[in-house]
Every structure is written in structure tokens, then in C-alpha cells.
Structure 1
């Protein structure tokens, strides 16, 4: 019996989309992590969470995968207090930095999970629950032998689509054109998703410029943005009419 189709998703999930680097934390980041992580960080667990319980409200929840140092995350959360934001990051220095932003800006609508995003989505996030995914400047893994590590490819995009609420979106920005083109194809071929624009999306004014974006612009790289929405199943959309 050929079970390659069944094992492929698991094999792709086992290939990490990141590499843990031993980046040094500043004294401020260490202090903020030690003092604030218990309040704002959720431990990884193989149990589905309830956003209403976690945030203590019924506002829509947006998930950011790989928030880096968290500057854009904090700005977006500060400007949208009626929305919840769950940031997923594996690098502790970035977690410490965002915790400091949460404290300095008096934010209450951010939670953090310090773990592999794919495992968090698989084990902790309810299906049909996420209002939007933010994926800003993910590692493009430019070498061909590393393309398997890219986040925006099937079946990983199918996992994202499964977790999205109907009408929810995936918003990706990259300064690596080949990755942007590949991601557009992969998302287009993901069942249940459709592009919100005919091609790449225009810049969304509500998204702050990130450190990686600044670096890309200094190196004269163009920014490519993609926005895809989860559509209603045909049988349900027909019934709604």
C-alpha cells in the first residue's frame, strides 16, 4: 500500500522553518523576560486553547508568526485595542523585547507563545478561529536545497487555512521576489483560499515598517505583499443566498 500522500504532511512539518540562533539578550530583555513572561506568555501544550478565556474578551484574534523583535506587533496592537494578537516566536531575545513593549505601552491585547509555530497551530489553535495571520518577512531560505523550509508552501498553507475563520485572511510581506511568487502560487492552490487582489497586494497602510523591511529597502529590494481570504464552502454559501 502506498501511503506517501498520508506521510508527506507530517514529513514537511518535521522540517523546521527556522534555525535557532544563539542571539544574545540585552540586560533589559533578560529582565523583562524574567518578570513579565509569566503574565503574557502562554506555555506550549498539546491542548486546544479558547481565545475568550485567554484574552478575557470576545474580540477577534489575529496570529503573527515570527514577530522578530516585536516592534510592528506592538504598534498594531496599540492602534487596535478592540482586537487580540497572539505572537509566536522561537527567539527569546525577541520575546523579551516584545514583553518590554507590552509593559511600556500598557498593552493588554497581546499574548506570546515561544515555540514552533506549526506545532502551536496543530495542537493549540482551534479550527476556523483565527481572524487573520500576519507573516511579515519570513526567512526566504534562498538556497534551493533549503526551499523545503519555507513556511508558505503546501501542506503548511492548508494548516493555516484550516485555522482561519471564514472571511479571515493571510497577509504576507517579503522582500524576496522568488519567494513571493512561489507563495502566491502555493496559496492560490490551497483549497478554500482566494487572493483578495488580482496579483500582489498593495501596501497596507496599517502595517508598520519592520526592521527586515528597512534592511531590504537599503539593499534596493522591492517589497511584495500578498493577501488571501478564506472563503465559505460552496454548499454553505449557496444556502446563505
Structure 2
């Protein structure tokens, strides 16, 4: 039976098609090391969305400060942070398979045990797999800015995102965002300044200096040489 255009089923289908995702699908070739990471690292570090709510204390075998990173790209910053803070645990989410393979290969090469990885939509992972008030940090570094005005509705930083992250952060936990698009930084600031239950950690109520714990990527260094700015925002859950 063909659904009429105005039917509830058709409206529901349209809503799902337009739902904001944490990623943009990209094609990419796999290097030998990346494929090795997927083949050998995934059984050790990989997690599945379908497994639902996870007990990360049991998964890591300890109770430790826990960071959730949305879209880790090729994983360079994640590896650097995890290596620098072995007393902390990191959960990274990325759909780009070469990036997932690169992170897994790096974790095996460096002998890191404090990383776990999802390869799916990070918002679904937050909703379905992460317990409320269980995260110390949520990281969102250099998300797609969707710089054209007609695409702004696709940006991940929206009121619903702020509320979802707030639910998953512990009281006192921090959402740390960074972008090299000033207009997106302004958008982030606008959304977060009115989001309930947060406090801006910037002294001037706007942006914080680049925190030492956020690694500088090659992309960022190249941008700095070209005169591009980077804006960091930190918002703490207060209730």
C-alpha cells in the first residue's frame, strides 16, 4: 500500500531523513596499517551500537575519568591524549573507516589499553550506550561547519545536542568544543549560552585559550600558518 504524502508514516520518514547526524560520510582508501588496525584491533577495542547501554567501568576494568570524543578523524589527537593520560579512559566515535583503522593501529602500536572505539553515529551512541551522568568530558573538535546559511540546520551543535550532552556529563563535567570557523564558533556560543544547566568556563564569557590537553593537529598548524584562527569553548555542567 502506498502511503499518502500527508500521512503520519510519511511525516515520520521525512523526520528521520532530516535528523541531524554527527558525521558526513566520506570515501577513502585503506592503507595496510589501517586495515591491520581494523582486522586485529577491532576485536580488542571495538564496540557495537547494538550492544546497547554499557558498563564502562567493567569494560575498562576500572573506575577512571572518562572522555567521550565525537568524530576523532584519523585519531592522531586521540592517541596523543590517551598516551599522555594513561590514568584516564577514552571512548572515541568515528564513521570514517580509514580513521578508525588508523586509531586502532596506533593503539596497538603504542600499547595503549585506555581506548575504546565505536564506528557509527556518535549521537546514537550517546543516547543508547552511555549512562546518564557518567562522563567527565565530551570533546567535539573541528566538526563540519556547514558554512552555507541554508545548511546551518545540519550543524551538530543545536539545543537538542546540548541537552543530550548535559544528561551524559557528570555534574562538573565539561563539554569542550573547538572550531576554525569563526562564524561556527559564534553559533556554538549562541547555542550554549542559553542551554540550561551549563556554565561558560571562559573568563570573558566567550572563548578559552587553547587548553594544553588539546593536541594541535597538522591541519591546525597549517591553518595557523595561513592566518586562520581557532576558537575553543568549554562549558561545564552545573546541574
Same fold (TM over 0.5): yes
Name the CA shift for 1:192/1:110 in 2 (closer, same or farther; >3 Å).
same
- Alignment of 1:228 with 2:228, yes or no, is no
Query: Matches of 1:39 and 1:202 in 2, distance apart?
Result: 36
Contact 1:128 1:166 (8 Å CA) reproduced = yes
- Candidates 209, 212, 220, aligned match of 1:205: 212
Tell me which residue corresponds to 2:137: 132
Q: What is the Cα deviation at residue 221 of structure 1?
A: 1.1
| 209-218 vs 12-21, greater mean Cα deviation | 12-21
- How large is the RMSD of aligned CA atoms in angstroms? 1.6
Contact 2:68 2:138 (8 Å CA) reproduced = yes
Q: Which runs of 5+ in 1 are unaligned?
A: 1-6, 233-241
- Alignment of 1:143 with 2:148, yes or no, is yes
Contact 2:22 2:71 (8 Å CA) reproduced = no
Contact 1:77 1:84 (8 Å CA) reproduced = yes
Q: What is the Cα deviation at residue 43 of structure 1?
A: 1.1
- Alignment of 1:73 with 2:87, yes or no, is no
For residues 96-135 of structure 1, the aligned pairs below 5 Å read 96-135=101-140
Q: What is the Cα deviation at residue 16 of structure 1?
A: 2.5
| 202-211 vs 178-187, greater mean Cα deviation | 202-211
Query: Matches of 2:219 and 2:149 in 1, distance apart?
Result: 21
Name the CA shift for 1:12/1:118 in 2 (closer, same or farther; >3 Å).
farther
SS of residue matched to 2:50: coil
Q: What is the Cα deviation at residue 132 of structure 1?
A: 0.3
Contact 2:20 2:156 (8 Å CA) reproduced = no
For residues 82-97 of structure 1, the aligned pairs below 5 Å read 82-97=87-102
Query: Matches of 2:22 and 2:219 in 1, distance apart?
Result: 17
- Candidates 136, 158, 163, aligned match of 2:163: 158
- Alignment of 1:20 with 2:12, yes or no, is no
Contact 2:22 2:70 (8 Å CA) reproduced = no
Tell me which residue corresponds to 1:187: 192
CA distances 1:67-102 after superposition (whole Å, capped 9, x unpaired): 000111011111111110000101110010001110
CA distances 1:202-237 after superposition (whole Å, capped 9, x unpaired): 1101211123323422432111000000003xxxxx
Tell me which residue corresponds to 1:235: none
Tell me which residue corresponds to 2:58: 53
Contact 1:177 1:224 (8 Å CA) reproduced = yes
